[in-house]
Amino acid sequence: MAPYHLRREAAGNAPEAQAPGGRGAFAYDGEFWRRLAHFGAAHMPEWWMRYSPPFFGVAAAAFVPGARRAVLENLRRIRGPATRLRDVVQTGETFATYACCLAEALAYGSKNEGVPELALPGKHHMTDALADGRGAIIATAHTAGWDVAGPVFGHDHQVDLVMVMERDRQETAGRLNDHARTAGGLQFVHVGDDPLASLPLLRHLRRGAVVAIQVDRAPRQMRAREVSLFGARAKIPEGPVRLAQVTGAPIVPMFCKRLGFRSYMMEVLPPVRVPRHADEAALDATCQGIADAMADFLQRHPTQWFHFGRG
């Protein structure tokens, strides 16, 4: 989704790994499999779209060993070592949840589309942030449901929600996701490593929109700040705090969890305001606070993190 990575190897929101299948149309995240997923979500009976994704998710875990190892590594980073049974169950659950979210997103614009239910604990924090009249910046992670529940959130708050998305590795496969997002009413901006790509975000914030940026990944080309995450050194992108500093828009840490079929919860935390003249120490402290909020959510919901690359 968004262009932020803990390491460059972890590009994209689909399961990422050095896996068999290459990088052509038949790669595990290529056009063939994405079209197959879209066909099942959009054209098969709704019961198929509802009940089959966990099976395909677990199958992906079995046939994409690089991504499976990466998920297991991340689970161990989050919650420490566990029994082999727990490792297997939680790894499978992560892939199954991802597959369910993908199917529900790809169903938009088809006979199987539906409006998801969305719980918003801490909703008053976003109301407080928007009271400034400067828009808001959501700091989030690659967790369940943004493609599905994002439009519901925007409608609930009567604001435009703009997701910052990274382009898929394969353009033809990415168009399927983009079509479904548009059909669902989700606005998004594709950005890459071009520093000028931040200009549309400035325009959106200045008109009072909410811009959601995923901070759990930071490519080498992007400026990032070092933080402590799960007791180890990591980096998160500097972009959100710089946007907040320039525009005055508050940062709202906010993380999404899938509860069940077309049922999601977004946890909203108190807004963080970055003074225009904040010094380096203050910016570092803001980034660490965001990292701490993310770590707390992931420790409570480890199988909701769709970080299929290492780092």
**Tens of pLDDT, residues 120-144:** 999 999 999 999 899 999 999 999 8
Instruction: Tell me whether residue 229 is in a domain.
Output: yes
Instruction: Write down the pLDDT at residue 221.
Output: 66
Distance CA 237, CA 87 (A): 30
Instruction: Tell me whether residue 24 is in a domain.
Output: no
Using a 10 angstrom Cβ sphere, with 0-12 exposed, 13-18 middle and 19 or more buried, the burial of residue 178 is middle
Instruction: Write down the pLDDT at residue 84.
Output: 96
Stretches in the chain below the pLDDT threshold 70: 1-32, 166-177, 180, 191-198, 219-221, 309-311
Distance CA 107, CA 264 (A): 16
Distance CA 165, CA 100 (A): 20
CB neighbour burial string for 56-79, b if at least 16 within 10 angstroms, e if fewer = bbbebbeebebbbebbbebbebbe
As for how many domains the chain has, the answer is: 1
Instruction: Tell me whether residue 193 is in a domain.
Output: yes
CB neighbour burial string for 211-228, b if at least 16 within 10 angstroms, e if fewer = bbbbbbbbbeebebbebe
Identify the domain containing residue 253 by its residue range.
117-304
| Tens of pLDDT, residues 223-277 | 889 999 999 999 998 989 999 999 999 999 999 999 999 999 999 999 999 999 9
The structure tokens listed for 79 are 């919650």
Instruction: Tell me whether residue 8 is in a domain.
Output: no
Instruction: Tell me whether residue 310 is in a domain.
Output: no
DSSP code of residue 226:
E
Instruction: Tell me whether residue 295 is in a domain.
Output: yes
Neighbours of 293 (CB within 10 A): 22
Distance CA 143, CA 155 (A): 20
Residue position matching structure tokens 């590594």: 73
Instruction: Write down the pLDDT at residue 191.
Output: 67
Q: Are 94 and 69 in contact (CB under 8 A)?
A: no
Instruction: Tell me whether residue 234 is in a domain.
Output: yes
Distance CA 121, CA 218 (A): 28
* Three-class secondary structure of residue 118 per DSSP: strand
- Phi and psi angles of residue 257, each rounded to the nearest 5 degrees, phi first: -135, 140
Instruction: Tell me whether residue 165 is in a domain.
Output: yes
* Three-class secondary structure of residue 122 per DSSP: coil
As a whole number of Å, the CA-based R_g of the chain is: 18
Alpha helix stretches (DSSP H) within 225-279: 239-247
